[in-house]
Amino acid sequence: MRIAMIGTGYVGLVSGACFSDFGHGVVCVDKDEGKIARLKQGKMPIYEPGLDVLVGSNVEAGRLSFTTDLVEGIAGADAIFIAVGTPTRRGDGFADLTYVYAAAAEIADALDGYTVVVNKSTVPVGTGAEVERIIRERRPDAAFDVASNPEFLREGAAIDDFKRPDRVVVGTSSPRAVEVMRELYRPLSLNEVPMVFTSRETAELTKYAANAFLATKITFINEVADICEKVGADVQQVARGIGLDGRIGAKFLHAGPGYGGSCFPKDTMALVHTAREAGAPFTIVQAVVDANAARKQAMADRIIAACNGVQGARISVLGLAFKPNTDDMRDAPSLDILPRLIEAGATIAAFDPESMDEARKHFGDTITYCDDAYATMAGADAVVILTEWNEFRALDLKRIGGLVKRRIMVDLRNVYQPSELIPHGFAYHSIGRASVAP
Ligand code: UDX
């Protein structure tokens, strides 16, 4: 099958590369000339484990190519995926669909022969219908269907999530489009991946409902963590105790500084707006949005309290990305926490294995950028773990003890056990567990 992928962000690039690895011919289209030029040289615009190798091998095999020319890109395609950005619109929190609709118009003008136009961007319910209307209006003659095929890719594990998904959701009422979509995902049938065919509106809502549910689950355990701290319980044991119940499930019960990233914050807000407009207010998700925003702020206060105030203090920060294995800092807790610490009089020395370039765009010269974890710790009043990168999981605590000024660790990801820190003379503050001091 031949596929055109419009948009080479996380979703478009990973999906395009994976489809080509399935054996399909894929052309990735993007307006950004610099990005396409770099991709042609094998340079990835994002850090995603395994992506460079996957792209390289499929380009070499002649199955994957890149262009800025949409007309050339979609020529002869059986399916055209729209995977452009849908940022939160300024002011009202709605998803901004400008890029989706612009892509639809351009596709319409170049359609040639029966094509399935597939929306992969996360879009509010009804967007598929609008895309169909835009194309139909410009090209009353064209043979096409518009389907919805939401993605459920986690950054840092996106290739695996694409190739070994829990399910594939496709929204369309056209039997012809169903056939094309089945063929595109046929390689997954070996692993008996469930294909869930629904109406377009149902598929669109399924994506938002999935992300909002996961964000709710995280917020739930985060608030359980707060209670644990007050009553002397251990959130990790509570998470295990409830997670073993098959109805609840163990995943996404890791308490932390609040969820971030490109999806949960944006999608929860968009869903709240959609629900309100539809006259069916989604009160639980509204509460999740509010609790998560407040939590990020509260994390800074927790660090300040652990140090008994940070005026003139030097804080070592490990991890800036919103989660490990990505350089993405969109809505990362670090973006809320660091400015608040600086405002309270702290100086920050930070290290992240992948997001240092990204961090410079956000923090400029307000923080010091270090070359590794230990370099952040010289003379530090506290070591703060913000992102649970693997390389922060087995730090040499004895060495840290010799570098820092005060032995205080604030571990917002529960990477360590209190019992590991005590022998090294650290006061240790984590999430949902009692703080310990030597
Ligand atoms: C998410 C969804 O998982 C994916 O299906 C969707 O399509 C896009 O959004 P992503 O944002 O890449 O993926 O990362 P994810 O692993 O889901 O983590 C999101 C946020 O939740 C991160 O800030 C992470 O630190 C936080 N999180 C996750 C927790 O705090 N606790 C958990 O138990 C899990």
Please state the three-class secondary structure of 18-81 as a single string: HHHHCCCEEEEECCCHHHHHHHHCCCCCCCCCCHHHHHHHHHHCCCEEEECCHHHHHCCCCEEE
Lookup result for tokens 């054996």: 23
Is the model's pLDDT at 89 over the cut of 90?
Answer: no
Q: Is the pLDDT of residue 375 over 90?
A: yes
- 87 pLDDT band, cuts 50/70/90, is confident
Pick the residue whose CA is nearest to atom 13 on ligand 1.
Answer: 154
> Which pLDDT value is given to residue 279?
97
User: Measuring from each residue's beta carbon to the nearest atom of ligand 1, which residues come in under 6 Å?
Assistant: 151-155, 211, 214, 218, 252-254, 256, 259-264, 322-323
* pLDDT computed for residue 302 by the predictor: 97
* CA 155 to centroid of ligand 1, rounded, Å: 8
Given the candidates 3.50.50.60, 3.20.20.70, 3.40.605.10, 3.40.50.720, the CATH classification of the domain at 199-438 is: 3.40.50.720
Q: Is 93 left (phi over 0), alpha (psi -120 to 50) or beta?
A: left
Q: Are 257 and 333 in contact (CB under 8 A)?
A: yes
Q: Which of 18, 28, 228, 263 is catalytic?
A: 263
Question: Do 199-438 and 2-197 have the same topology in CATH?
Answer: yes
Instruction: Give tens-digit pLDDT for 211-269.
Output: 999 999 999 999 999 999 999 999 999 999 999 999 999 999 999 999 999 899 999 99
Task: Please tell me the distance between residue 117's alpha carbon and the centre of ligand 1 in angstroms.
Answer: 28
Q: Count other Cβ atoms within 10 Å, centred on residue 341.
A: 24
Residue nearest to atom 31 of ligand 1 (CA): 254
Instruction: For residues 405-424, give the mean pLDDT.
Output: 96
Query: Mean pLDDT, the chain, as a whole number?
Result: 96
- Work out the pLDDT band at 287, boundaries 50, 70, 90: very high
The pLDDT value given to residue 90: 73
Distance 215 CA to ligand 1 centre (A): 8
> Which residue's CA is the nearest one to ligand 1's atom 28?
252
Query: Over 80: is that where the pLDDT of 94 sits?
Result: no
Q: What is the pLDDT of residues 393-409, one digit of tens each?
A: 999 999 999 999 999 99
Which residue has the least CA distance to atom 11 on ligand 1?
Answer: 261
Tokens linked to 22 = 């399935």
The residue extents of the domains of the chain are 2-197, 199-438
Atom of ligand 1 nearest to the CA of 333: 23
C-alpha dist (Å) from residue 245 to 235, 254, 361 = 16, 16, 43
Separation CA 160–CA 14 (nearest Å) = 10
Is residue 307 part of the annotated active site? The answer reads: no
Task: Give me the pLDDT at residue 231, please.
Answer: 97
What does the pLDDT read at residue 109? 94
| pLDDT at residue 50, rounded to an integer | 96
CA of 260 from ligand 1 middle (Å) equals: 7
pTM: 0.94
Residue 294, judged by CB atoms within 10 A of its CB (0-12, 13-18, 19+), counts as exposed
Find, among 333, 435, 322, 330, the residue nearest to 389 by Cα.
322
Per DSSP, what are the bridge partners of residue 349? 316, 368
Longest dimension (CA), the chain: 77
Domain 2-197: what homologous superfamily? NAD(P)-binding Rossmann-like Domain (3.40.50.720)
